[in-house]
Amino acid sequence: MEETELIELCARHSGVLVQLMPPWRYVVDGPLRAWTAEHRSTSDGLVAETAGEARGEEMLDVYVEHYTAQHARWSPAADGPQLRTENAPDFVPGAAGSFDPARSTVLVRAGRIVAQALVWPPEEDGGAEVTLQSRPHEGPTSRQDTEACLAAFVERSADGDVLLIDSHVTEELESAMMRGVPGPPPHPANTWTAIVGIPVPGGPDPLPLPRDLVPADVADTFAALIR
């Protein structure tokens, strides 16, 4: 189904635009390596390290904390224990679909993981999906801690590797960080990903994405879903 057909289908069912995710494709090249050299160390001198197989349980804790806070404003997640149970299989090294402990990175401060770059199994085109998270979700050092994890991962990557890094326009810190990461030339509008909420009888109404967060270059594309 074409993008316009999907948008029309959602509009017919009173779909509401609740989130936008910018183009997420990055390629390891000279500019990205230059960014890496500038962000590999935090202001207190910490450098991210390879996650390894022994940290799965704590990395799952960070995942649950970050995911819950990240989605609280626009798509509240299940409670912590349930979310942890549902995602636990993804943190068993070697299990199908689990994070890659040899490529994922963590930043440890005072013996505790404060940020991580989770690297998932390759996509069909060979791209590596990377999930960037911090603890706390938006704290005074969260941005530089997360940047250090991404930088450590890029250092371990080969030139030409494709990184798939998602971000959300509602996340001010996350969006600001990703705007600073050098990527390919400007993407066409249709490479944005829209998350749409469809109201159902007796259910909660979807929370519309604030109009001022919809970039001008994609506003026309998703006009039928903006409330």
Q: CA 86, 114, 93: angle at the middle one, nearest 5?
A: 45
Which amino acid appears at position 178 of this protein? M
At 1, the pLDDT band (50, 70, 90 cuts) reads low
User: pTM of the entire structure?
Assistant: 0.90
Report how far Cα 68 is from the mean position of its chain's Cα atoms: 13
The residues, ordered by sequence, that sit 6+ positions from 82 with a Cβ below 8 Å of its Cβ are none
Report the alpha-carbon distance of residue 87 to residue 26 in Å, rounded: 26
Quickly tell me which residue has 């999930």 as its tokens.
131
> pLDDT tens across 145-178, in order?
999 999 999 999 999 999 999 889 998 888 889 8
H or E segment and range at residue 116: strand 112-119
At 195, the pLDDT band (50, 70, 90 cuts) reads very high
How buried is residue 31: exposed, middle or buried, by Cβ count under 10 Å (0-12/13-18/19+)?
A: middle
Quickly tell me which residue has 């938006």 as its tokens.
138
